[in-house]
Amino acid sequence: MATRSTKWIVFMAVLVLICIWGVRQYNSMVSMDEGVQTAWSQVENVYQRRADLIPNLVATVKGYAAHESQTLTDVTEARAKATQTVVDPSDLDPEEIARFQKAQSELSGAIGRLLVSVEQYPDLKANANFMELQAQLEGTENRIAVERKKFNEVAQTYNTKIRRFPANIIAGMFDFEKKGYFAAEDGAEKAPEVSFE
């Protein structure tokens, strides 16, 4: 009789330990998921900062370079598209992040073309407002790179956690899904050609 009650106590103790482990794993995954969403919010913040600088940049350039209207229109349209491309932080799958990244890349390209066209206007390049805006844009691009890197690191930690055994059992039971990453731009593996002609 004592062995039967001992077995029952051991069984209950093991069951309690498994439940405690499961709760700790679940809570850990929730915390990591929140971390990924927070990192995503920071990414969105720095992209929004860039988007907020663009109207001032366009207005400054417009005063000096009126015949660059197509380039200015391209920047404005790319900004509109980039700010309309929103990703739900709870659904950070690779396709959604790629869609967001594509819109942001189009805006980066349009800004790059605008800054290249500005080279033709020495008065504009010497304008204090333009120089300040250009410095702020450069700083924002650096912030974007930093926040994207942080996001990828947090997402990797989360993805590793939910895929490891036996935590993957809890992840599967409660629908914790893999998060996407920011990837290098197409063509980033090729060095740009530089010409000094």
Question: Tens digit of pLDDT for each residue in 48-89?
Answer: 999 999 898 888 888 777 667 788 888 999 999 999 998 888
- Where in the chain are the domains? 31-173
Exposure string (b/e) for 68-81, b if CB count within 10 Å is 16 or more?
beebbebbeebbee
What are phi and psi for residue 18, nearest 5 degrees? -65, -40
Give yes or no for a contact between 29 and 174, defined as CB atoms under 8 angstroms apart. yes
Instruction: Say yes or no to pLDDT of 189 above 50.
Output: no
Distance CA 100, CA 154 (A): 18
Percent of the residues in the chain that have a pLDDT greater than 70, as a whole number = 91
Task: State the Cα–Cα distance between residues 65 and 119, nearest whole angstrom.
Answer: 11
Least confident range from 6-10, 20-24, 44-48, 68-72: namely: 68-72
Q: Which CATH superfamily is domain 31-173 in?
A: LemA-like domain (1.20.1440.20)
